[in-house]
Structure 1
Amino acid sequence: MTKTPWIGTSWKMNKLRADTRAFCDTLKASPMVQGTAAKLFVIPPFPYIAEAADLLRGTRVTVGAQNMHWADGGAWTGEVSAPMVKDCGATLVEIGHSERREFFGETDDTVALKVAQAVRHGLTALVCVGDTHAEFTAKRTSEALRRQVSAALSKVERSARDTVVIAYEPVWSIGENGTPAEPEFVDEQHRLLKTLTAELMGAPLPILYGGSVNPDNCVALATRPTIDGLFIGRSAWAAEGYLGIVDSVTRALAAA
């Protein structure tokens, strides 16, 4: 049976309103956004979530948010709540990205609170986990992933497992100077994550890979049996690049 991969991109702190419109217009013009060969998602910056959701309404593209707070509301200056995310039209929220952990004090505990809050409000929680370069070179990748995933799922009931997706993003592999991970290595980590999430949630969760995904390696990654999709950075910031990766991956899977 051909798998249906998740394929999405987060724009991080990039693009303005006109760029958002142009990206979404290009997506809408493609028949791929109406197909069922992949689960497509786009995660714009907060100011453009509502506009992207409006523009992509009627397509099969899910719109997400890059972060959210664990409280419904209150004196949290500069923060955004799950009800606000939903009100803007997003149905998915990215939680625990390594940049949030490194630069903004995100911890395993706050990630757990946010995952539980997302699930409580009916949002799909896209939980990012990954090993640092130091953990990778010390061969402690498995230890780091077990710790992060166990914490992230600690406040979620097994009955809610259909609303959580894990993205393995090696910290040493993401960003402009990231080193693409070998597909065999990724496959090994995903196998571990499948086993771990099955133990914790009663069934394995979808595990996506993100980290220097590009047109040259997307097929080799997406066709691995344990990789359920791709979370793409700069290679998908142009709509044409994003659609090109979607096309390459879905064609390869259909031919497999």
Structure 2
Amino acid sequence: MRTAFMAGNWKMNKTPSEAVAFAKELVEALKGANAKALVAPTFVALPGVAEVVKGSNVLLGAQNMASVESGAHTGEVSADMLLDIGVQYVILGHSERRAIYGETDSLINTKVKFAIEKGLLPILCVGETLEEREAGKLEEVILTQVKEGLKGVSEADLAKVTIAYEPVWAIGTGKTATPDDADAVHKYIRKVIADLYSGSAADAIIIQYGGSVKPDNVKELMAMENIDGALVGGASLKTDSFKSIVFFDK
């Protein structure tokens, strides 16, 4: 039985002081949740939020990390820096990192393996654009991103990886794939994992949906066989809406 996993990606929102105040609200609001709950603030807000969530059931994630240990990499944040303040998870390969900052499958793969090596748990994001979907390339894109993103990752280490399927055309647009459409892609991702690793690995891996998840669609999405959680953007920025998503089973 896979445990539901709800992750709030705050993106470039909330100042450090706002993030701390919000995290305090969430720690209270999310007590007793059956689902795993994670928040991923900006880098500058991570230390303050780390102190707030310490000892609670709220997990802490970063939105990105450097692909190298240390050194002359202006503007980057290393895995050791994240670990030092209590970060447990790191989101890698988000569609915005791919599209806006030109991150390639090869770079993302390097980050995934490095995160695992350092003891961070990666959330590997994959997903197609509207143009790719309409051109019938959905499965081709997903296959490439999953296969290349996990290249060199052993089956034992795969257990540390979460995959997030984010249809790029549904992020921040208010559009969502139907639950059946979303589940079909999640099912395909499991097939890819089964082909790359094993059936048991495919059954065990957590696959989140990341396409404009909201309180009014989360129950329907989570009722699908292959959807194990959500990577939430806008709806994770308010206590009531994120609480409703985390407590989708109430």
Q: What TM-score comes out, normalization by structure 2 length?
A: 0.95
Question: Given that residues 213 and 235 in structure 2 are in contact (C-alpha distance below 8 angstroms), is that contact kept between their aligned partners in structure 1?
Answer: yes
Secondary structure at the aligned position of 1:63 is classed as strand
Q: In structure 2, what is the equivalent of residue 215 of structure 1?
A: 215
Determine if the alignment matches structure 1 residue 240 to structure 2 residue 237: no
Q: Does the 8 Å CA contact 1:101/1:107 hold for their aligned counterparts?
A: yes
Unaligned runs of 5+ in 2: none
Query: In 2, are the aligned partners of 1:208 and 1:229 still within 8 Å (CA)?
Result: yes
Does residue 129 (structure 1) correspond to residue 155 (structure 2)? The answer is: no
Deviations 1:15-65 (A, max 9, x none): 0122112211112223x3344x10110000000111111101111111010
Listed as ranges, the matches of 1:45-84 within 5 Å are 45-84=42-81
**Secondary structure at the counterpart of residue 172 of structure 1:** helix
Counterpart for residue 152 of structure 1: 149
- 2:137 corresponds in structure 1 to 140
Q: Secondary structure at the match of 2:170?
A: coil
- Aligned residue pair count: 246
Structure 1 regions of 5+ residues with no counterpart?
A: 252-256
Inter-partner Cα distance in structure 1 for 2:213 and 2:111 = 26
Match of 2:21 in 1: 22
Describe the superposition over 1:206-229 as per-residue Cα deviations: whole angstroms up to 9, x where unpaired: 110001111111110011110011
Q: CA deviation at 1:195?
A: 1.4
Equivalent residue for 2:159, pick from 150, 159, 162: 162
Structure 1: distance between partners of 2:63 and 2:31: 21
State the distance in 1 between where 2:179 and 2:112 align: 28
Aligned with 1:166: secondary structure? Answer: strand
> When the two structures are superposed, what TM-score results if normalisation uses the length of structure 1?
0.93
CA distance in 2, matches of 1:94, 1:246: 18
Task: Choose between structure 1 and 2 for higher RCO, CA contacts under 8 A separated by at least 6 residues.
Answer: 2
1:113–1:155 Cα contact (<8 Å) kept: no
Q: Deviations over 1:50-91 (max 9, x none)?
A: 111110111111101000111111111101111111112101
User: Is contact 1:69–1:114 with CA below 8 Å preserved after alignment?
Assistant: yes
